[in-house]
Amino acid sequence: MAEGKHIVVTGGAGFIGSHLVERLLADGEKVVVIDDCSTGSLENLAPVRENTSLRIFQTKISACGELGTILEEAKGIYHLAAAVGVELVLKQPIQTIQTNLHETEVILEEASRWRVPVLLASTSEVYGKSQKEAFSEDDDLLIGPPHLSRWSYACSKLMDEFLALAFAKERGLPVIIARLFNTVGPRQTGRYGMVLPRFIEAAKAGKALQVYGDGQQTRCFCYVDDTVEALVRLMNCTAAQGQVFNVGTDEEVSIRELAKLVIQTLGSTSEIENLSYEEVCGKGFEDMRKRKPVLAKLQRVTCFTPTTSLERIIQITGPKTSSPVT
């Protein structure tokens, strides 16, 4: 990382961002959070709010009058601020596109003035409709048609990647892109459609766990502390600059099996209810059948491998799902 006084975390009041902030403070770093709390919550930062090494600016990046001063004194930027969740994307596609494109453009433009390294949090959604067994960073990407707003999130995050790499090529800005695969853990909410907190909340309440489609679609769930560890290692690795990395676990589980595991692990009496995608998401919704990352590149560059099992994630997360967070 470059010389500087603090590390900036945009979206630092969100689910992943708040865990990252805690980790950086524990490492002895000074941290500046920029978050408008549109989907995040300052409650997520309650454990560290009194830490004198933390400053919080509750504002959009583009509306932050002190952004230039903040970045001039920064040694690294974790850009996590984004519109998140399938439900939010479907209900507010304009906000999704504008937030993901404009706020990223602003942070990259200002960061390039001071050559502050930027780690851009992207998403496995950019792999789109590909039918591959596992996704590698160099794969071609297949995004769905524009009349299905479901793909606007993937497309906007992919444009963020293109823009970041353009700043790297044209202006020499040190950038790293991390494509996150289904990060889960305490403080995540089901409010925007995230599946594991939805299941846990229903199981704790004795309500039916709603599985969309046939439930045979598979995902790989990575514990948030493992994700944070990978992000920190990437930021601290100069060899990672200018590259794209998958971040997650390659342990697959079907959504129906996930529902069963949540019920079993939490000792719930809940049942499983199948709903069609059309019932929940509207006509024409398309889902990816598989979303498994190839992690060889991440492991080669950072020597990192996630260690937290899915059953353990459910045990840790189960009692702690009440905070209104992203």
CA distance 250 to 68: 39
Give whole-number Cα distances, 265 to 74, 211, 270, 305, in Å. 43, 17, 12, 24
The b/e string for 287-305 (b: 16+ C-beta within 10 A; e otherwise) is: ebebbbbbbebbeebbebe
Catalytic residues: 153
Closest of 277, 301, 300 to residue 289, by C-alpha: 277
Q: What is the rounded distance in angstroms from the CA atom of residue 279 to the CA atom of residue 157?
A: 27
CB 175 within 8 A of CB 168: yes
Contacts 24+ apart (CB under 8 A), 233-236: 233/302, 233/303, 233/304, 234/119, 234/176, 234/178, 234/298, 234/301, 234/302, 235/1, 235/76, 235/78, 235/117, 235/119, 235/176, 236/1
DSSP character at residue 141: -
In terms of C-beta distances under 8 Å and separation of at least 24 residues, what long-range contacts does 257-264 make, across chains too? 258/195, 258/196, 258/199, 258/219, 258/221, 258/310, 259/199, 259/209, 259/211, 259/215, 261/310, 261/311, 261/314, 262/196, 262/199, 262/200, 262/203, 262/209, 262/314, 263/203, 263/209
